[in-house]
């Protein structure tokens, strides 16, 4: 009992008196006028910022944004202003933070705290938050004996000391939000700058402002190199400088390493450095400044080591993809994971600033980051794993493109049959023409890169199948050069495979592409080869298809009689094969040739039958082309209002079908009808739209023709337009009256009696 009372007495010691201050060692109840004073410590104003970065270049927008965030925060109430500067390793996050800090020292008269948290460091481990807090307490002048032992109490003391003070706190190279949170003050008078390779999502959720740092803007990379080496040395070797800038791809650390190496050897030509960087496999070796902080490969290894295993493997595999970027389903295929899981992995890589979702659903890597990731893939993964990943990616693009082609043109012949995709390949949901064309537009660079990869790997079957699957899209969007290149490889693959049917199709498609490129001699050569082989193998469907193509090329050459002969040959073959959607195609082609030859009655008959068949069998591309032909016939026979309806209906279908090649022609023809009807403003509107498409499609002859129509002065109204505007005669009647009764085409005065016009 006595021991218990003694313990209680020790627990409840008291100090009382008129004044009690300073350090007290309390052993019991003390009372009276007590004055105990410790040695006073001088006030400490911490000045911990490292030196401002030398030769800092650019980043004007980011500096202004940091200032704006601070000024906005001062009006937002009692909330600490936190700016988180994020970006990949070597992009200049620390330099930006220090540059801004030194430019605004006057805003923080009570000092600046700085600590490198070593979140991504090749040697040191990340600094624990409690270690950083203790370091800040020391910097703020707190005596060691007054620092509590409990980390939470230390953090509370740290926040208390900052109350009311205008201090800048720079937390450099943070690993994650938990490392940073205990270092945040609780007062609005302080400002915090945090740099990290990770998106500090938790910090941002608590109100921090994100400054996402990208590569240097155009021109800033050259300016940085010039500040290191001098303008004279830069100007002396412009070609080498251009190559150096391209290989460094706007990454400040890479540029600084190159500048440092060049600066150490003033007599070394920059062309020698450019040559070292030229080979992708040796580029990272050249970007080594001689220590851990200036070795780009080491900087990136730190980011890789911070990833989870699955994300690290995905990072390596994604770098192997041939295209300039990658979509979520393609990434899921190359990694053989579900789209949901892939989204999580990509999010982890985004947080680490190793990939960038630059538009929704599409991801890309910085060139040097990708080079590093591909190097790690070759070193860290089994070759078989890399090979299978790329085969899955090829299967993804091939099967998706094949499905899209079938949606855009279901009646395309001859068909090809694909083997089932490898396990792990995702399917892209293409449901209609619009979604299919949108997918092709987005994926076109990746599809071409994948096709080229298959060519290099001598995957002959996939090379041919990709050329086939891309062909309809290439026609609709008038990618004639890409169509030609794809089928050049497709023909070589067909020969390697020893398939006569593949060779016929490749020759025919090459002929079509040459025709669109204006290479008519080559077009005829390829098409004659196709027809000869089709005849030799008794391949009737291929014979018919080749006749269709030959008819089109002769028509473009202006020889409508030969064009008609090939169209009629195709018609007979398709009728014998009972391929009625194709019969519609041949009928329309024949009808258009008849119209060009002036036999409008026969033309009308062929095209009317073609339209009926096309609509019955749902052959929408042929339906649109036939409407266009009927519009041409009506226009040539003076039925301008009817021609306008046909052309506009064809135009609407071309747009639904995504056929911008034919859309340009329809717009030009609609403009011509409006011009005949003397609606010149409407005509010019159509011609301008047509001209934009022709120009984009590099169809120079057609563009020049429309440009001429736009530049000539308004035509003088002829007899037709005079009847329409002067006497209110309907356009169709006016045109027929003039044609039948041969009215004069010279200008007609408003006062001319109608009886004189018809005399």
How far the first Cα of the chain sits from its last, in Å, is 141
pLDDT, tens only, 295-314: 888 889 989 998 999 999 99
Q: At what angle do helices 540-556 and 580-596 cross, to 10 degrees?
A: 20
Token pair of 398 as six digits: 């091939």
Distances (CA, A) of 279 to 30, 121, 139, 242, 287: 82, 28, 49, 15, 12
Q: Is the peptide bond before 149 cis (omega within 30 degrees of 0)?
A: no
- What's the pLDDT score for residue 289? 74
Distances (CA, A) of 405 to 95, 509, 627, 657: 50, 15, 23, 12
- What's the pLDDT score for residue 4? 46
Q: Are 552 and 558 in contact (CB under 8 A)?
A: no
Rounded distance between C-alpha atoms, residue 192 and residue 187, angstroms: 11
Token pair of 214 as six digits: 């990208």
Query: Residues 6 or more apart from 608 whose CB is under 8 A from it?
Result: 630
Burial class (CB in 10 A: 0-12, 13-18, 19+), 106: exposed
- What's the pLDDT score for residue 181? 92
Q: Are 404 and 439 in contact (CB under 8 A)?
A: yes
The phi and psi torsions of 287 (rounded to 5 degrees) equal: -90, 60
Q: Are 193 and 213 in contact (CB under 8 A)?
A: no
Burial class (CB in 10 A: 0-12, 13-18, 19+), 631: buried
Rounded distance between C-alpha atoms, residue 373 and residue 301, angstroms: 9
Q: Positive or negative CA dihedral for 249, 254, 255, 261?
A: negative
Rounded distance between C-alpha atoms, residue 643 and residue 638, angstroms: 9
Q: Positive or negative CA dihedral for 212, 213, 215, 218?
A: positive
Rounded distance between C-alpha atoms, residue 188 and residue 164, angstroms: 8
Rg (CA), the chain: 38
Token pair of 305 as six digits: 């080591």
Cite the DSSP H helix spans in 677-699.
680-696
Q: How far is CA 407 from the centre of its chain?
A: 24
Helix (H, G, I), strand (E, B) or coil at 199: coil
Q: Are 623 and 615 in contact (CB under 8 A)?
A: yes
Rounded distance between C-alpha atoms, residue 413 and residue 256, angstroms: 57
Q: Positive or negative CA dihedral for 288, 290, 296, 297?
A: positive
Q: Are 444 and 486 in contact (CB under 8 A)?
A: no
Residue of 419, 411, 376 whose CA lies nearest to 394: 419
Q: How far is CA 725 from the centre of its chain?
A: 52
Q: How many CB atoms lie within 10 A of CB 71?
A: 12
The phi and psi torsions of 171 (rounded to 5 degrees) equal: -105, 100
Distances (CA, A) of 289 to 261, 263, 286: 7, 11, 8
Query: Residues 6 or more apart from 682 whose CB is under 8 A from it?
Result: 671, 674
List b or e across 139-155, with b for residues whose CB sees 16 or more CB atoms inside 10 angstroms. bbebeeeeeeeeeeebb
pLDDT, tens only, 600-624: 999 999 999 999 999 999 999 999 9
Q: How many CB atoms lie within 10 A of CB 668?
A: 22
Residue of 289, 305, 296 whose CA lies nearest to 119: 305
Cite the DSSP H helix spans in 220-366.
220-229, 231-236, 238-248, 252-264, 270-278, 280-286, 296-305, 309-318, 328-335, 339-351
- What's the pLDDT score for residue 77? 55
Helix (H, G, I), strand (E, B) or coil at 174: strand
Helix (H, G, I), strand (E, B) or coil at 18: coil
Q: Are 712 and 671 in contact (CB under 8 A)?
A: no
Rounded distance between C-alpha atoms, residue 581 and residue 583, angstroms: 5
Q: How many CB atoms lie within 10 A of CB 750?
A: 8
List b or e across 361-377, with b for residues whose CB sees 16 or more CB atoms inside 10 angstroms. ebbbbbbbbbbbbbbbb
Q: How many CB atoms lie within 10 A of CB 423?
A: 9
Query: Residue 586 belongs to what H/E stretch?
Result: helix 580-596
Q: How far is CA 275 from the centre of its chain?
A: 29
Burial class (CB in 10 A: 0-12, 13-18, 19+), 265: exposed
Q: Are 569 and 603 in contact (CB under 8 A)?
A: no
Distances (CA, A) of 483 to 67, 478, 617: 52, 9, 28
Residue of 376, 314, 389, 390 whose CA lies nearest to 349: 314
Rounded distance between C-alpha atoms, residue 32 and residue 35, angstroms: 10
How many helical (H) and strand (E) elements, i.e. helices and strands, does the chain have?
Answer: 36, 8
Residues of the chain with pLDDT under 70: 1-43, 73-79, 713-727, 731-732, 735-759
| DSSP letter for each residue of 352-388 | TTSSEEEETTEEE--HHHHHHHHHHHHHHS-HHHHHH
Residue of 162, 166, 136, 171 whose CA lies nearest to 151: 136
- What's the pLDDT score for residue 281? 76
């Amino acid at each position: 009992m006595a021991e218990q009372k003694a313990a209680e007495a020790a627990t409840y010691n008291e100090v009382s008196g008129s004044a009690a201050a300073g350090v007290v060692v309390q052993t019991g109840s003390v009372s009276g006028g007590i004055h105990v004073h410790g040695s006073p410590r001088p006030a400490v104003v911490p000045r911990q910022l490292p030196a401002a970065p030398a030769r800092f270049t650019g980043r004007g927008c980011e500096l202004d944004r940091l200032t704006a965030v601070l000024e906005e925060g001062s009006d937002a109430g009692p909330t600490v202003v936190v700016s988180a500067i994020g970006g990949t390793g070597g992009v200049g996050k620390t330099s930006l933070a220090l540059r801004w800090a030194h430019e605004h020292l006057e805003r923080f008269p009570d000092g600046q705290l700085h600590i490198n948290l070593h979140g991504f460091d090749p040697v040191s481990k990340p600094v624990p938050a409690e270690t950083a807090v203790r370091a800040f307490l020391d910097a703020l002048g707190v005596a060691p004996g007054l620092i509590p032992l409990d980390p939470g109490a230390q953090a509370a003391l740290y926040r208390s000391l900052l109350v009311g003070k205008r201090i800048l706190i720079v937390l450099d190279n943070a690993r994650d939000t938990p490392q940073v949170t205990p270092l945040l003050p609780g007062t609005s008078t302080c400002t915090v700058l945090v740099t990290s390779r990770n998106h500090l999502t938790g910090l941002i959720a608590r109100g921090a402002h994100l400054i996402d740092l990208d590569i240097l803007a155009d021109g800033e990379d050259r300016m940085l190199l010039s500040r290191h080496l001098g303008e004279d040395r830069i100007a002396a070797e412009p070609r080498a400088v251009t190559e150096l800038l391209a290989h460094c791809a706007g990454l400040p650390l890479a540029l600084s390493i190159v500048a440092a190496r060049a600066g150490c050897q003033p007599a070394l030509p920059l062309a020698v450095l450019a040559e070292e960087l030229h080979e992708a496999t040796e580029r990272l070796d050249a970007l080594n400044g001689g220590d851990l902080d200036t070795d780009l490969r080491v900087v990136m290894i730190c980011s890789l080591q911070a990833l989870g295993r699955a994300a690290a493997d995905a990072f390596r595999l994604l770098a192997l993809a041939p295209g300039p970027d990658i979509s979520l389903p393609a990434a899921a295929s190359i990694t053989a994971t579900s789209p949901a899981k892939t989204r999580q992995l990509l999010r982890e890589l985004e947080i680490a600033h190793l990939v960038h979702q630059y538009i929704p659903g599409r991801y890309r890597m910085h060139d040097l980051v990708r080079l590093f990731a591909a190097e790690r893939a070759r070193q860290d993964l089994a070759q078989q794993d890399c090979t299978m990943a790329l085969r899955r990616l090829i299967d993804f693009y091939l099967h998706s493109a094949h499905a899209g082609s079938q949606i855009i043109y279901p009646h395309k012949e001859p068909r090809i049959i694909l083997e089932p995709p490898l396990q792990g390949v995702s399917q892209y949901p293409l449901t209609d023409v619009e979604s299919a064309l949108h997918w092709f537009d987005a994926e076109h660079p990746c599809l071409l890169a994948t096709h080229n990869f298959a060519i290099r790997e001598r995957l002959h079957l996939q090379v041919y199948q990709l050329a086939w699957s891309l062909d309809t899209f290439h026609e609709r969007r008038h990618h004639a050069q890409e169509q030609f290149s794809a089928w050049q490889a497709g023909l070589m693959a067909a020969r390697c495979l020893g398939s006569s049917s593949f060779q016929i199709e490749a020759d025919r498609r090459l002929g079509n592409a040459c025709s669109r490129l204006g290479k008519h001699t080559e077009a005829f050569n390829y098409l004659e080869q196709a027809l000869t082989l089709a005849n030799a193998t008794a391949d009737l469907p291929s014979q018919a298809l080749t006749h269709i193509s030959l008819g089109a090329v002769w028509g473009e050459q202006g020889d409508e009689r030969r064009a008609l002969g090939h169209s009629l040959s195709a018609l007979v073959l398709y009728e014998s094969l009972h391929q009625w959607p194709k019969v519609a195609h041949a009928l329309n082609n024949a009808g258009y040739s008849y119209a060009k030859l002036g036999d409008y009655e026969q033309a009308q008959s062929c095209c009317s039958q073609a339209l009926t068949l096309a609509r019955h069998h749902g052959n929408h591309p042929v339906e649109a082309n036939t409407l266009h032909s009927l519009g041409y016939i009506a226009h040539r026979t003076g039925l301008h209002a009817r021609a306008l309806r046909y052309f506009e209906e064809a135009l609407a279908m071309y747009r639904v079908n995504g056929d911008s090649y034919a859309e340009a022609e329809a717009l030009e023809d609609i403009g011509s009808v409006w011009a005949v009807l003397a609606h010149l403003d409407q005509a010019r509107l159509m011609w301008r739209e047509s001209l934009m498409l022709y120009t984009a499609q590099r169809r120079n002859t057609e563009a020049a023709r429309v440009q001429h129509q736009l530049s000539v002065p308004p035509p003088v109204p002829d007899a037709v337009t005079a009847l329409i505007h002067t006497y209110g005669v309907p356009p169709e009647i006016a045109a027929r009256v003039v044609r039948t009764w041969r009215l004069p085409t010279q200008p007609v005065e408003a006062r001319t009696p109608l009886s004189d016009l018809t005399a």
